[in-house]
A and B are shown apart, each in its own frame.
Chain A
Amino acid sequence: MFDKANNLSVRNFMKSLGKFIIFIGQLFVRRESFKTYAVRTVDESIKVGYNSVFIVVIVSAFMGAVTTVQTAYNLISPLIADPIIALVVRDMTLLELAPTITAIVYAGKVGSNIAGELGTMKITEQVDALEVMGINATSYLVLPKIIGSVLMFPILVILAGFVSIYGGYLTALVTGVISGTDYILGIQMTFIPFAVTFALIKAVVFGFLVAAISSYKGYFTTGGALEVGQSSTNAVTSSCIAILAADYLLAYLLAPLLTP
């Protein structure tokens, strides 16, 4: 019984995966002019990137502040020099918080938006209308979203990293848990440049996953308004799971390269 159910869910998962891969393949059957795609990509980039700046800044400022305070309280020991606190904040931000937490927030904002938009277009026959005009609706609608997301999300991650580390600095100054000089000293200690590359690789992967999965969920919506809501929710859930799985996989593959 259990086995049977398990088999079924594996089968369903493989089926969705296959459908997802075919969906992604269809994106590259191009029919419209390059200019059309360029204009669409700029539009989508603004939509996913610029409109997420506010939430990303808020979240990462607090992320930096909280990390600094927490680390400081946990490392109260005469044996640990104060700059180490800043070092911890830096590494946590670059390696995990800036790409991954931002990606989760991004999935909640952009992922649900993409799925909702495409789902609505699907059920109100707007997608059909595009197809009848002889436009490859999949690539016309989805490809610019994915490219926009892959381009913009790394920028958001850089912003998040910067704001988070700066937020930590301001917190240090305001609360006095460590001095500003120690903080500045700490964030430069044993710095491994690959950490930034690592964060950006993650960002590209997460940017792709959120846009592609959410588009997929939205694009295959059938039914009515209720189903559009469900697609949005599913898009966020699936994106988050994919982000965490990819995070683990990338850590496994790339962490060994983190040597000075």
Chain B
Amino acid sequence: MITVNNISKSFDDKQVLFNINLEFEPGKSNMIIGASGTGKSVLLKCIVGLIKPDEGTVEFNGRSFANASKELQTEVRREMGMLFQGGALFDSLTVEQNVMFPLNVLTKQSEEEKLERVNFCLERVGLENVNRKMPSEISGGMKKRVGIARAIVTKPNYLFCDEPNSGLDPQTSIKIDNLIQDITQEYGITTVVVSHDMNSVLEMGDIVNFMHEGKILWTGPSSEIGDSDVQELNDFVFAGRLMKMVKGV
């Protein structure tokens, strides 16, 4: 369980987040949706502590994170996996080394155990025979999948994904969504997914938080998303539905 209490954040004079309160439950895919530039990535970075919020706190299973000691922060972070919007693979390492990296630094497993785990994770994201490739030699969507493999390789308790399926084709996109949902339920992970893809929202969002201009305007299960009377959310959803109708899906 992750609790976000009253987080605000400004950059210079521009306020990006306004008093955000959220709760993320374990074993569920918690989604944060909203238009581009509303502050989803900033919120996610505040939650994982990469950006220090101006106000507010974040708690991981009751452990207050934002103002915690370095030791506690490290302890909590070692239970996290995160997929960045651009993949954030280490350029100087191969795909295999990238996925193995957290194991190398954080665990004391043997070489075989690590390799087995790495191959298992790569397989789960549908990547085979790319172990020796460098990040510059694989496509954007593949980078993203390697990023997911790296995020789940340590069996995290908390998984954060910033737009896991932007830049992927619809088929792979659904595969990735299902994958995230599967591991969330299988291991009882608290998963937070940022997205602006309505398809994946309806596909995998157990709980959806709609964000607009730095505020959370609506929270609820994805099945009730069409019944909301929040105008901004309806606009957002309608744009998605319209797209679907045009494409005849």
Q: Footprint of B on A, CB under 8 Å? A: 29, 31-32, 36, 120-121, 124-126, 128-129, 131-135
Contact = CB atoms under 8 A, between A and B. Distances in A.
A133 B105 contact: yes
B222 to A, nearest CB: 27
A132 B82 contact: yes
Q: Which residue among A32, A131, A134 has the maximum number of chain B CB atoms within 10 Å of its CB?
A: A134
B84 A36 contact: no
A95 B231 CA distance: 75
Interface in B153-184: 160
B4 interface: no
B140 to A, nearest CB: 13
Contacts of B88: 124-126, 128-129
Given A132-B48, A134-B106, A135-B105, A126 B91 contact: yes
B193 interface: no
B77 A133 contact: yes
Contacts of A124: 86, 88, 91
Contacts of B89: 126
29 contacts: A29-B70, A36-B104, A36-B105, A120-B91, A121-B91, A124-B86, A124-B91, A125-B85, A125-B86, A126-B90, A126-B91, A128-B84, A129-B82, A129-B84, A129-B88, A129-B90, A131-B49, A131-B50, A132-B48, A132-B80, A132-B82, A132-B160, A133-B77, A133-B78, A133-B80, A133-B101, A134-B74, A134-B75, A134-B78
A124 B70 CA distance: 24
Interface in B75-130: 75-78, 80, 82, 84-86, 88-91, 101-102, 104-106
B58 to A, nearest CB: 14
Contacts of B75: 134
B215 interface: no
A48 to B, nearest CB: 14
B45 interface: yes
Nearest 5 CB-CB pairings of A with B:
A134-B77, A125-B88, A129-B88, A134-B78, A134-B74
A159 B80 CA distance: 47
A44 to B, nearest CB: 11
B135 to A, nearest CB: 10
Contacts of A36: 104-105
A31 B50 CA distance: 17
Given A36-B105, A120-B91, A31 B74 contact: yes
Contacts of B50: 128, 131-132
A41 B131 CA distance: 25
Nearest to B102: A133
A29 to B, nearest CB: 7
B106 A133 contact: yes
Contacts of A134: 73-78, 80, 106
Nearest to B150: A129
A47 to B, nearest CB: 10
A129 B77 CA distance: 11
A128 B51 CA distance: 10
A135 B78 CA distance: 9
A36 B106 CA distance: 10
A128 B85 CA distance: 12
A181 B77 CA distance: 67
Nearest to A125: B88
